Structure 1
Amino acid sequence: MSFRLVVLFGRPGVGKLTIGRHLAERTGFRLFHNHLAFDLALSLFKFGSPEFIDLREEVWLSSLVRAARSDLSGVIFTFGPESTVRDSFIPELQERIKGTGGLVSFVELTCAPDEHHRRLTQPDRAKYAKLRDVKTYEIAAAQGRFDHPVMPKPDHVVDTTHMSAEEAAERIAEFLARSAPA
């Protein structure tokens, strides 16, 4: 069995980490939450500085490529497109994982605005210093902050508005099973 990287992506608050945890339980894949590298880089450098951007992307890439070269069957990578991520990051990630013989699957999570705003304000988001203010989110979204890097067409889309994290993870797991390489 070859390595599979599942890039679980979407806007802040759509449920990436929560669904990712349930998906990891269902698939046996490891979970690599994007804030692990974010928090490391932020502990040393100012957010958005060249040093922050370089370190965060270096940690993401080196960690995921190392995982692909290991005996792991897969990793779920939660990722939020955000303007300080270089446009070259996603193509480079795809190229490097493909170079190991691995497969990258992009799964987009979406959510209706009312539910999305409710989720943004949840107290559990504070643990990872996640965006929790609707007004700040709306300003950032209007400025296009979450539109880059441009993501590839997703292999699967899940609207999480009216389903539990467990249900969303089940749908993704079913998709992954159907689309597994032979």
Structure 2
Amino acid sequence: MQVVFIHGPAASGKHTIGTRVAEALGIPLFHNHLAVDAALALFEFGSSGFCRLRAAIWSAAFAEAAAAGRSFVFTFHPEASVDPALIESLTRSVRAHGGEVVFVELLCSPEAIVQRLDQPSRHRFGKLTDVALYRSIERAGGFAFPPLPSSLRIDTEAHTPEQSAALIVASLREPR
């Protein structure tokens, strides 16, 4: 059982690349916004209720998939409303069932993020699309998060989504 844990800033291509990786590997994509949208249906973003519900959804998904031996791709935008200990807990849950979490970091310059924020695909998922709001959140420290491990780092400005996905798939097929 393997979780391909793709993380990176807003608009770095997590969903687009994650979809291609999931398709190439024949495993599901558990996109971050599945839990975010469920929590937003009841609570304001960042509120304690929102954070608890999102964490509970992620925790249940990781634990149930690990127990069933079900590999998947997970996308994550590191940001301040997530308790860093949750990521450690999700990883422990997978490892407790003999699984592995492979962290892949997507890199993207602040200039590219601003250019990509208004992409139609971001609107479809209700993602952050407002540049002024993005900059306000950034100035307030809303994207602060301790560094995550990374088995692979990919610059999504230097690689297309297809190339990025191919790099991830190739790295997963290499002997560890």
Q: How far is the alpha carbon of 1:92 from its aligned partner?
A: 0.7
Distance 1:179 1:137 in 2: 39
Alignment of structure 1 residues 5-24 onto 2, 5 Å: 5-24=3-22
Shift of 1:179: 4.5
1:18 maps to a residue whose letter is: T
Aligned equivalent of 1:168, options 164, 167, 170: 164
Which residues of 2 match residues 95-110 of structure 1 at below 5 A?
A: 95-110=92-107
Rounded Cα–Cα distance in structure 1 between residues aligned with 2:76 and 2:52: 16
Q: 1:126 aligns with which of 118, 123, 126?
A: 123
1:22-171 aligned within 5 A = 22-72=20-70, 74-148=71-145, 150-171=146-167
Task: Give the residue type in structure 2 aligned to 1:145.
Answer: G
Structure 2 counterpart SS, 1:105: strand
Q: CA deviation at 1:50?
A: 1.3
Take 1:51 and 1:179, find their aligned partners in 2: how far apart are those partners? 42
User: For residues 110-154 of structure 1, what are the alpha-carbon distances to aligned partners after superposition, in whole Å with 9 as ceiling and x for unaligned?
Assistant: 113332221112122111211112222222223221122x24321
Q: Could you tell me the TM-score, scaled by structure 1's length?
A: 0.91
Q: Greater shift after overlay, 158-167 or 6-15? A: 158-167
State the alpha-carbon separation in 2 of the partners of residues 15 and 152 from structure 1: 17
Is the Cα–Cα contact under 8 Å of residues 66 and 93 in structure 2 kept in the other structure?
no
Specify whether residues 87 and 71 from structure 1 end up closer, same or farther in structure 2 by C-alpha distance, changes over 3 A only. Answer: closer
Would the alpha carbon gap of residues 179 and 55 (structure 1) be closer, same or farther in structure 2, given more than 3 Å must change? farther
Q: 1:91 deviation in Å?
A: 0.9
Stretches of structure 1 that go unaligned for 5 or more consecutive residues are none
- What amino acid does structure 1 have at the position aligned with 2:160? S
Of 11-20 and 43-52, the range deviating more from structure 2: 43-52
Whether the 8 Å CA contact 2:122–2:128 is kept in 1: the answer is yes
Partner of 2:173: 177
Q: CA RMSD in A?
A: 1.4
SS at match of 1:106: strand
SS at match of 2:6: strand
Runs of 4+ in 1 over 3 A off after TM superposition: none
> TM-score, normalization: structure 2?
0.94
Contact residue 90 and residue 151 of structure 1 kept, 8 A: no
Structure 2 residue ranges without an equivalent (≥5): none
